[in-house]
Structure 1
Amino acid sequence: MTLTWHLIPFSALTVPQLYAVLQLRSEVFVVEQTCPFQDIDGHDEMALHLLGYAPTGELAAYARLFGAGVAYPEASIGRVVVSPRYRRFGLGRALVHEALAAVGQQFGPQPIQIGAQQYLQVFYESFGFRQVGAGYLEDGIPHIHMVRA
């Protein structure tokens, strides 16, 4: 399945786009992962938002991107999520590939740091990320910091 990608600063998101983003993040990070946490964390305004739309027009994949010095000293990618309805199409790989390309285009070639759920370590290593430091718990879920040089 091929998605249509849009990279949008917060101030240019439409109300329906923002609603779809928040709905998807809540569906996966709060409900599916049974993890009550404050998803709306005050960082969205500083992010570029990568939205991947299915041919049906539904938001199928999403990530937010930051330049260096915002979330981490390095550029970063976060809130990486694929809708449960679209997971069987390998869109996680497409999303990370698109996010890495967008970081390079928007901020230039540089290291990228992520805070990854530990069970996804091998997945992110396939993109060149390597664990840095010890693991940690975030909202009760094991995470690791990873950097891609």
Structure 2
Amino acid sequence: MTFTFKHFTELTTNELYDILQLRAEIFIVEQDCVYNDIDGLDKDAIHQFAEKDGQIVAYSRLLKPGTRFNDYSIGRVVVKESERGTGLGIQMMKEAKTYILKNWQPDKIKISAQKYLRKFYEDLGFKVVTDEYLEDGIPHYGMLFENQAD
């Protein structure tokens, strides 16, 4: 599947609507977590997404330092339930890391990972760097990917 990377100002109205709909479907409805998804950071983000049959089925948000964290970061990672288990999430995270490393050349990338996804992110090279904490009532770990480039 092909991923698209767009700055907020490049998104079409339909793309933005579909992204917000998918995030609400997963984070608010499926995970039963009431929180402010529209947090003001989308305008500064690069939005990564994949479409299947005209519908966005996977998404993540890439942020530069000083927006959410002091490091570059990947967040709002979602894969539509019907696409889970296909490897799409792995592909998305690998491409997100590649995009950040190629375009921004950071030393490290930070994520706030839901506890149950710890192994998923560890398999992608992220390491736990914090104790478990609650974010919006859900257990998380702070995790870092450190760029080993010369």
SS in 1 for 2:70: coil
- Please list, as runs of the form range in 1=range in 2, the aligned pairs for 1:38-117 lying within 5 A after superposition: 38-54=36-52, 56-117=53-114
Of the candidates 113, 119, 129, which is equivalent to residue 122 of structure 1?
119
Q: Is 1:28 matched with 2:13?
A: no
SS at match of 1:125: helix
Calculate percent identity across the aligned residue pairs. Answer: 44
Confirm whether residue 139 of structure 1 aligns to residue 136 of structure 2: yes
Say whether the 8 Å CA contact 2:74–2:110 is kept in structure 1. Answer: yes
Q: In structure 1, what is the Cα distance between the partners aligned to 2:107 and 2:47?
A: 19
Which runs of 4 or more aligned residues in structure 1 lie more than 4 Å from their structure 2 counterparts after TM superposition?
A: none
In the aligned structure 1, how far is the partner of 2:67 from the partner of 2:135? 19
Per-residue CA distance 1:63-106 (angstroms, 9 max, x = gap)? 00012232211110000000112113121111111111111122
Matches of 2:15 and 2:60 in 1, distance apart? Answer: 13
Q: Using structure 1 for the length normalisation, give the TM-score.
A: 0.94
Q: CA deviation at 1:110?
A: 2.2
Which residue of structure 2 aligns with residue 5 of structure 1? 3
Gaps in structure 1 of 5+ consecutive residues: none
CA RMSD of aligned residues (A): 1.0
Question: CA separation in 2, counterparts of 1:52 and 1:105?
Answer: 20
SS at match of 1:133: coil
CA distance in 2, matches of 1:88, 1:145: 24
Q: 1:53: Cα distance to partner?
A: 1.4
How does the TM-score come out when normalised to structure 2? 0.93
